């Protein structure tokens, strides 16, 4: 058995099971465990549901935890189209309905945070509480991002790279580990927080042209996402932004313009991948907020 497969990974997660659900034109893969109010976790690039592995058991003591591979991610389907965050939020809405829930708590990290925001904006009656981890959705400031580092230690070059058609898959097929290691080693404070094993789990999914193409489609839809966001009302649902020190200003700015009320929590000593660098602190912060 492939040690990096979901079947193998689930054996490391007592009390959780791996499942598939058909919604609209795709099947979504999710991992479910625990009991209580439903709580959805949406991962980001370049990861899968596995990015929440450390916080899922703690949260499952109080909640039915459902970690979802988004459209184009992990063991979920990878169709050619449908990667606007509004449409991906509809995927999640269809999943919630299929699982028999009326309302859910929802948290998203990175691309997952973009989808969680779109979910709350389009289906506010379905959201109890919303948690955005470290990442705001793109706005028109995206078009002013520098193409060169210009003295900055970290700059998001991948936002542009992933919007190039076809080339990323041609360059990265079988070589995604080079990009993954660069990204993690740049954005992690504790480089050991995501082990060689964990990196191999992610590489297994992102090493293939179909998977690279689908994940790039999340970024290629940013222009449409920005257009869609201009139609959204300010969000009334109870919300918290949990953020690394590097992104406090950018996330707070987004929340201040798009939410009526919200909380902010800064996580010091961590980089972008909060659930893996500070799992105990993140799990406790989420639990406190939901309670």
Q: Annotated catalytic, 110? A: yes
Residue 180 near residue 206, CB atoms below 8 Å: yes
The 10 Å Cβ neighbour count of residue 98 is: 12
Q: Annotated catalytic, 27? A: no
Strands 263-267 and 238-244: parallel
Q: Annotated catalytic, 75? A: no
Strands 63-68 and 26-34: antiparallel
Task: Spot the catalytic one: 75, 110, 225, 228.
Answer: 110
Would you state the structure tokens that stand for residue 47, as one six-digit string?
């990861």
Which residue from 115, 98, 175, 137 is spatially nearest to 106, judged by alpha carbons?
A: 115
Task: Spot the catalytic one: 4, 83, 202, 219.
Answer: 219
Which residue from 80, 83, 73 is spatially nearest to 52, judged by alpha carbons?
A: 73
Instruction: Please list the active-site residues.
Output: 110, 219, 272
């Amino acid at each position: 058995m492939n040690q990096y497969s979901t079947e193998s990974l689930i054996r490391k997660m007592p009390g959780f099971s791996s499942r598939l659900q058909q919604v609209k034109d795709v099947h979504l893969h999710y991992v479910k465990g625990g009991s209580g109010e439903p709580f959805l976790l949406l991962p980001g690039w370049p990861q899968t549901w596995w990015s929440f592995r450390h916080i899922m058991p703690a949260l499952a003591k109080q909640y039915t935890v459902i970690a979802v591979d988004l459209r184009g991610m992990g063991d979920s389907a990878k169709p050619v189209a449908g990667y606007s965050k509004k449409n991906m939020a509809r995927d999640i809405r269809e999943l919630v309905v299929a699982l028999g829930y009326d309302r859910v708590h929802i948290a998203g990290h990175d691309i997952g945070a973009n989808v969680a925001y779109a979910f709350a904006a389009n289906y506010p009656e379905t959201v109890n509480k919303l948690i955005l981890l470290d990442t705001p959705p793109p706005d028109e400031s995206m078009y002013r991002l520098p193409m060169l580092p210009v003295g900055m230690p970290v700059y998001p070059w991948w936002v542009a790279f992933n919007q190039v058609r076809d080339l990323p898959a041609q360059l990265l097929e079988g070589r995604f580990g080079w990009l993954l290691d660069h990204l993690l080693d740049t954005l992690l404070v504790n480089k050991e927080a995501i082990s060689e094993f964990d990196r191999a789990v992610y590489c297994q999914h992102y090493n293939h042209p179909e998977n690279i193409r689908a994940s790039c489609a999340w970024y290629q839809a940013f222009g449409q996402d920005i257009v869609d966001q201009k139609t959204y009302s300010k969000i009334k649902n109870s919300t918290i932004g949990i953020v690394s020190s590097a992104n406090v200003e950018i996330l707070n700015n987004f929340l201040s313009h798009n939410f009526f009320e919200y909380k902010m929590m800064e996580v010091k000593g961590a980089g972008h991948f909060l659930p893996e660098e500070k799992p105990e602190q993140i799990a406790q912060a989420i639990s406190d907020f939901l309670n």
